[in-house]
Amino acid sequence: MYKSLTIAGSDSSGGAGIQADIKTMTAHGVYAMSVITALTAQNTTGVYGIAEVEPDFVARQLDCVFQDIMPDSVKIGMVSNPKIIEVIASKLENYNAKNIVLDPVMVATSGSKLSSDSAVGALVEKLFPLAAVITPNIPEAEFLCEMKIKTTSDMERAAEMLSKKTKGAVIIKGGHLTESADDLLYYNGEFEWLRSPRVDNPNNHGTGCTLSSAIACGLAKGLSVSEAFSQAKEYITGALTAGLDIGKGSGPLNHCYKI
């Protein structure tokens, strides 16, 4: 049994965060474990409250996982303050965690801000160097690179900039480009594009969480970054194409569309 750990926030409506990660991992036949960094009161219309978990308790959760069931990969999502980030980085280094996929969650699909500026700085300094893959979307890449991204050439330039902050691969998700849903992988100085038409579905709550978790599943199974990325892209396209429509706002994907 392959095993993967998600370190992220809880989404009470089940479409993003820990809940999306566990559904995705289960759909990939991977045993899912979780370390919760924050509770959120949210649904498809927005985020209405965030209660952070104490850093010491985050550390305790991490110890319990790594001292008993060693994960084959780790996905990191919402980490909302520097102290929690420092704890996560320290524990991942102590336990020699492998196949770390970092989704630098800063803003929810609904537009609600999820991380402080100080947390973003700590994320780049402490966690980027540990990651095998980072998966920012275009708004996140714009923030991290302090530039506007309007074209695929802009995406390539941003990926090169981000690669200087991490030893791993950079994936920039192109779903915010109006004409396409082309995603970019930059690794070892080479660009690889996964091009696909945009799925006409406004219900895309939790797409970033889902993609990064699917990539973590592929890495846990021993796939290369390119193979894991390709399979994850196929999975998320299927989950969007399934056309689940629940909730009053931007609804969730159908993570279990194959079941």
What domains appear along the chain, each with residue ranges and CATH number? 3-132+203-241 (3.40.1190.20)
Nearest Cα neighbor of 133 from 181, 165, 157 is: 165
Token pair of 69, please?
Answer: 């069931």
Q: What is the pLDDT of residues 86-142, one digit of tens each?
A: 999 999 999 999 999 999 987 655 555 566 678 888 999 999 999 999 999 998 999
Partners of 73 in the β-ladder: 4
Measure the CA–CA gap between 189 and 130, rounded to whole angstroms.
18
pTM for the full model?
Answer: 0.94
- The string of pLDDT tens digits covering residues 184-231 is 999 999 999 988 778 888 898 999 999 999 999 999 999 999 999 999
